[in-house]
Amino acid sequence: MNAWSQTTLDHRTVLVTGAAGYIGSHTVTELLRQGCRVVALDNYCNSSPEVYRRIEGLAGTTFAHVEADVRDGAALEKVLSNHDIDACIHFAALKSVSDSIIHPLRYLDNNVRGLLVLLRVLQRYHVHRFVFSSSATVYGDPVRVPVAESAVLNATSVYGATKLMGEDILRRLAAAPAELEETWRVAALRYFNPVGAHPSGQIGEEPLGIPNNLMPYVMQVAAGLRPKLSIFGGDYPTPDGTCVRDYIHIQDLVEGHLAALKHLLDGGASLTVNLGTGRGTSVRQLVETFVQVNGVTVPYEFAARRPGDVAQYFADPSRARELLGWQARHDLADMCRDAWRWQCSQPQNHA
């Protein structure tokens, strides 16, 4: 946790959009655990309100939740007029790279217009502390690794472009002259590859349909729900020929959000930081670690490269450490163990 901030979240109220999703649900749990009041908002387009019961069980407390779309200004007005909000963490977005190429307008409307509608309502209610879910996808195919925040930005998908546009909107907002002494303070957090689950095994990632991402696919193969994993490409210019990524435990990612939130509530300046471990892991290393720590089998075969994949990227996480006193603590074995505990905790997740 942020070693420097003296701020506690006790008696603060945070609006969390996309609260029922993978990262939102884990963040709400930790906010509540730290005494924060939460107002959760989601339209459940990629989640279910079912998760709120489990969050309340884990946190030992209840919280307000609203079914609404972030593009619905009237619904947001109602939320803001009913609650005295100190800050907003904005997770609500569509996140599939491949889907965004097929449905560009859907992604632009949801992710960019959604952000603008939300910001306008927050502004009207004088809420100017804002944590934004960005993504390492804004770096495209990085020239060098580890990737620092100063690297060239080059989103190749529509999804990535919506994150770049979001960052740009927020940067301009934060640079605007203070109106009535109300300056926007924004933390744009560029996540690398979040994986794993809450150590209780009670909440985790719940992809609908066939998973796009590696860890959920590995989990489903290990559980016998799918026959084998296809490893997309074994001939990349990496040590073992498979792609290298920076996988980060969901609980570390959550701690990064809380550190950023406390920084902003402390009066800290706007910032853009990577949230990654700084370690590169290949697809094969991830599969082998998963097999080893969980004592399972994960049959795999090599398949063609997936279009759009880059050979390798991992974070330079030093700015987050300098500005927030945050660094990732969990290793790959923790990520694999906690992911598997979550998979095993639900009967429908097993063959």
Q: Which residues are catalytic?
A: 159
Sign of CA dihedral 341, 342, 347, 351: negative
CB of 83 to ligand WQD, least distance (A): 29
Q: Residues interacting with ligand WQD, by CB under 6 A?
A: 95, 97, 135, 137, 193, 212-214, 217, 229-232, 243, 245, 283, 306, 309
What span, in angstroms and rounded, lies between the C-alpha atoms of 162 and 21? 19
CB of 115 to ligand WQD, least distance (A): 15
Residue 54 binding result from ligand NAD, ligand WQD, none, given CB thresholds of 5 to 8 Å by partner type: none
Residue 212 binding result from ligand NAD, ligand WQD, none, given CB thresholds of 5 to 8 Å by partner type: ligand WQD
Whichever of 63 and 139 has its CB closer to ligand WQD, that residue is 139
Cis bond before residue 299 (omega within 30° of 0):
no
CB 93 within 8 A of CB 133: yes
Question: Helices 158-175 and 114-124 sit at what angle, rounded to 10 degrees?
Answer: 20
Q: Binders of ligand NAD: how many residues, by CB under 6 A?
A: 28
Nearest partner of 161 among 195, 217, 110, judged by Cα:
110
Nearest partner of 310 among 149, 157, 104, 148, judged by Cα:
157
Site string for ligand NAD, 35-64 (x = CB under 6 A): -------xxxxxx-----------------
Identify which range of 68-76, 169-177, 237-245, 314-322 contacts ligand NAD by CB under 6 A: 68-76
Q: Does 313 contact ligand NAD by CB under 6 A?
A: no
Structure-token match 């190429």, residue found: 101
CB of 226 to ligand NAD, least distance (A): 20
What span, in angstroms and rounded, lies between the C-alpha atoms of 61 and 30? 12
CB of 243 to ligand WQD, least distance (A): 3
Q: Does 327 contact ligand NAD by CB under 6 A?
A: no
Q: In Å, what is the CA distance from 310 to each residue of 113, 125, 194, 279, 326?
A: 29, 42, 17, 16, 27
126 Cα distance to chain centroid: 26
Nearest residue to ligand NAD by CB is: 21
CB of 34 to ligand WQD, least distance (A): 26
The angle subtended at Cα 94 by Cα 82 and Cα 43, nearest 5°, is 35
Residue 220 binding result from ligand WQD, ligand NAD, none, given CB thresholds of 5 to 8 Å by partner type: none
Q: Does 21 contact ligand NAD by CB under 6 A?
A: yes
Q: Which residues contact ligand NAD by CB under 6 A? A: 17-18, 20-24, 42-47, 69-71, 91-95, 110, 114, 133, 135, 191, 193-194
